[in-house]
Amino acid sequence: MSPLRRLLTSRIVLWAACAAALALFVAACAKNPVTGEEELVLMSERQEIAMGNEYYPQVIQLNHGLPPNDPHLQSYVTGLGNRLATLSHRPKVPWEFAVVNSSQVNAFALPGGKISVTRGLITKMSSEDELASVVGHEIGHVTARHAVAGYTRQILLSGALLGLALALGDNEYAPAALAAAGVAGSLMMLSYSRDQERQSDELGFKYMTAAGYNPMGAVKTFQLFKSLQKHEPGEIESLLSSHPLPRERIEAARQRALLSPYSNRPFKTARFNRLLARQKKRAPAYAAADRGNALAQKKQWPQAVSQYRRAISIYPREGIFHSRLALAQAQMKQGRAALSSARQGAKLSGYNFYPSFILGMVERGNRNYRASLSAHQRAHRLMPDHVINNFYLGYAYDRVGQRSQAIRAYREVAHDAPKSNYGQAAVKRLGQLGFSQ
């Protein structure tokens, strides 16, 4: 190509990019559901909902699924959430609410109205009003489209707008296409500005008082967070990283409550305590398992095994306890015991990713490659983008002679995590098989 033609071509591409970007800016102005003001967003409501629908199941899996054998708790939280959402600025969003089986003290909202509260948080509360304050706050993040604003800001600041316009054109799911394999985890840890946190506090106050809750519940929740921050900082670290807790937020909540005519309402405790009784009874089991996890991180395997066995003795129907025990036993070269524990974990919690993933690892360690393949396949259906599981899925395919499937899995790992140890191992094995990435 001649220099003149190259110059003209580059200018045509630049002009096309600018025109596409301008069109995107014009098309991306939307009215904020809360403020009523026009704002620049690079994700329509339909795209926002599509993203939530796609990644919410994965976020639940990242948090070990739902607490087992407690459907009444899920119905209770769903009912509470729907009452608040109906009174919000976006009642027609397809809202979903769940308690997830994580010991961390946290709550998070995904785009499109997908909201979770952790077992670790809800079991430390003492009233429905406290729960309503947290769920109302997370609903506020969704109604004000804070996640959408954050994604828009990231795209603009990264200079990715022109590339987005050129590469994706008018694809209505373009923003969702930007999501990397780890997007489910990043959505769970979205950080908000101080202004967004204050706005969600105010919106949560409006929603919870309209639904008949005492706004002092929000003050009690903040007091709980401050107490945990002082006495159990590790448990609340994830919440504070995504929801900063400056003194001004606490004082603002107190002032709103003191000025509210609803602060004299009695706290709703009877039904809350009745429906949380099962989880609070199990709390010592999860505490023992958490101690086991901490010991396992230090590679203190016998002590970890002791804690996992204690957890199982208190609540034997929790599959993740057996699966964690299996990992510790495998580290201690107790192959048969590890296999028995892993199989029991997957039997109890076959609908969760981690027990299936761990079973696949333990079966592989015992050279049961077809059984390992079956477990990794089940884990893959639950978490399609998990790089480590996908690598060992490829390895299992490889060992049972299903080379085409192995190559496909290795290529996916190499593409998704090229700089990781698993990505490099996948590239190496592809080369040995005579294929490129």
For position 175, what pLDDT does the model report? 36
How many C-beta atoms surround the C-beta of residue 129 within 10 A? 26
Residue 109: pLDDT band with limits 50, 70, 90: very high
* Beta-carbon contacts of residue 408 (< 8 Å; ≥ 6 apart): 394
Inside any domain, residue 421: no
Is residue 10 over pLDDT 70?
no
Asked if residue 74 lies in contact with residue 98, where contact means CB atoms within 8 angstroms, the answer is yes
Give the CATH number for residue 359: 1.25.40.10
30 token code pair = 């939307």
For position 145, what pLDDT does the model report? 92
Whole-number mean pLDDT of the chain?
86
For position 229, what pLDDT does the model report? 86
Asked if residue 309 lies in contact with residue 285, where contact means CB atoms within 8 angstroms, the answer is no
Same domain, 242 and 297: no
For position 183, what pLDDT does the model report? 63
**Tally of residues, the chain:** 437
Same domain, 148 and 56: yes
pLDDT one-digit tens code per residue, 186-196: 666 667 888 99
Is residue 163 over pLDDT 60?
no
Is residue 102 over pLDDT 90?
yes
* Beta-carbon contacts of residue 21 (< 8 Å; ≥ 6 apart): 161, 162, 165
Burial (CB count <10 Å: 0-12, 13-18, 19+), residue 272: buried
For position 363, what pLDDT does the model report? 98
* Domain total of the chain: 2
268 token code pair = 């709703």
Give CA–CA dist 258/250, Å, rounded: 12
Same domain, 202 and 75: yes
Is residue 146 over pLDDT 60?
yes
Sign of the C-alpha dihedral computed for residues 412, 414, 416 and 422 taken in this order = positive
Give CA–CA dist 341/330, Å, rounded: 10
Q: 224 is in which domain, residue-wise?
A: 45-259
State the residue for tokens 């080369």.
Answer: 431
Inside any domain, residue 253: yes
Backbone angles phi, psi at 189, to 5 degrees: -110, 25
Inside any domain, residue 278: no
3-state secondary structure 94-107: CCEEEEECCCCCCE
Inside any domain, residue 54: yes
Final residue belonging to a domain, choices 221, 244, 259: 259
Same domain, 364 and 223: no
